[in-house]
Amino acid sequence: MKPLTKKMLMAVSLVSALKVSSSFATGQIDAFDVVDRTMNCGNGGTDCMDWQLRGVCFWLKCAFIKCSVKQSPKVSHYIPDLLVATYTTEPPIDMSTGVNPTNNGNLTLDEKGNGALETYLDYKHAEVMGNPTAAIFNGMAQSDYFCQSVVQVPYMPYFLSGLDMFWNSPSVEHYYPQAILGYPKIKTNFPLGYWAQIYPLCGWGSHPYDAINAAVDAHRAAVIVTSPAAAHVYMPVGKNCGNKCWPPGQVQEGQLSTHKFQMVYPKPATTGRVMGGSASWANGKNEKLNEQYAWSLWRPYTCCHKKGQVFLFSIDW
């Protein structure tokens, strides 16, 4: 294994720079908070990372008239490359762009915009950004045993609900088969129970627990940015994670094989999970009554490092 010290120091330096640059913001957590809480997933992040040696890749390396076959390990692991925030009024992240309005969705306002209407509907703004923790993993990717993330710039905004009219008024997705049929859903532990249906992908929810509405909206925002073509204003996360890399696909409900959400605010979690399950999960998540939430989104990568000019094939164990 190649030494990681220099690259790790570069990654830490980058996160330190983010700490300084975020001093103008007024969010609840800064870059150091995000990195510290994300890397606290299990044993130094290893539980969420779930590193595995998957097999071996074979490369053809030629020099002058001589060619040989080289090998490199094929590995897989999760990377916390995205940061997802959902909130009612003020964002919880220091590096928030400030693009989203600081009022609620339109159905919760009276004619003067005072928010006086009584309604069972709840609206959340959403932001999806590059996770500063990904910089550490990208530094580790200089060795043969770790993959590189598609996210190269911390806090790069991929989705800002304030720029997307369809997050507030999902006029197009209302007519999607998924919205009409009410499937797929984020399910509970009971056979017919569910938190909410996923489509339309919007900020509206009607669950009595605020934290669950926020979690549903976080999942919806993650679906948008990992989709190759969604009816929303967003920047796709992309697929470029190196020379021979199998990047993660779209976030799928209930599938740990596609993603893990790890809460970093308000109640930092030490495990990753998919949204859903018992409604008791929401207990204590809104004690401050500020309706602000943030998650690190871990996504699975598989890769092998280039050892020749031509990739031949790989073998999985």
3-class DSSP string for the chain: CCCCHHHHHHHHHHHHHHHHHHHHCCCCECHHHHHHHHCCCCCCCHHHHCCEEEEEEEEEEEECCEEEEEEEEEEEEEEEEEEEEEECCCCCECCCCCCCCCCCCHHHCCCCCCCCCCCCCEECEEEEEECCCHHHHHHHCCCCCCCCCCCCCCCCEEEEHHHCHHHHCCCCHHHCHHHHHCCCEEECCCCCCEEEECCCCCCEECCCCHHHHHHHHHHHHHHHHCCCCCCCCCCCCCCCCCCCEECCCCCCCCCCCCCEEEEEECCCCCCCECCCCCHHHHCCCCCCCCCEEEEEEEEEEEECCCCCCEEEEEEEC
Residues lower than pLDDT 50 in the chain? 1-25, 106-113, 115-117
What pLDDT does 45 receive? Answer: 59
Using an 8 Å Cβ cutoff, are 26 and 277 in contact?
no
Return the sign of the alpha-carbon dihedral for residues 187, 192, 193, 199. Answer: positive
What pLDDT score was predicted for residue 254?
Answer: 93
Cβ pair 132, 98 in contact under 8 A: no
**CB 36, CB 153: distance < 8 Å:** no
- List the domain boundaries for the chain: 5-316
Q: Is-contact 100 128, C-beta < 8 A? A: no
Burial of 217 (0-12, 13-18, 19+ CB in 10 A): buried
Q: Which residues, in sequence order, are bridge partners of residue 204?
A: 123
Confidence (pLDDT) at 293: 96
Structure confidence at residue 120 (pLDDT): 67
Provide the pLDDT for residue 28: 85
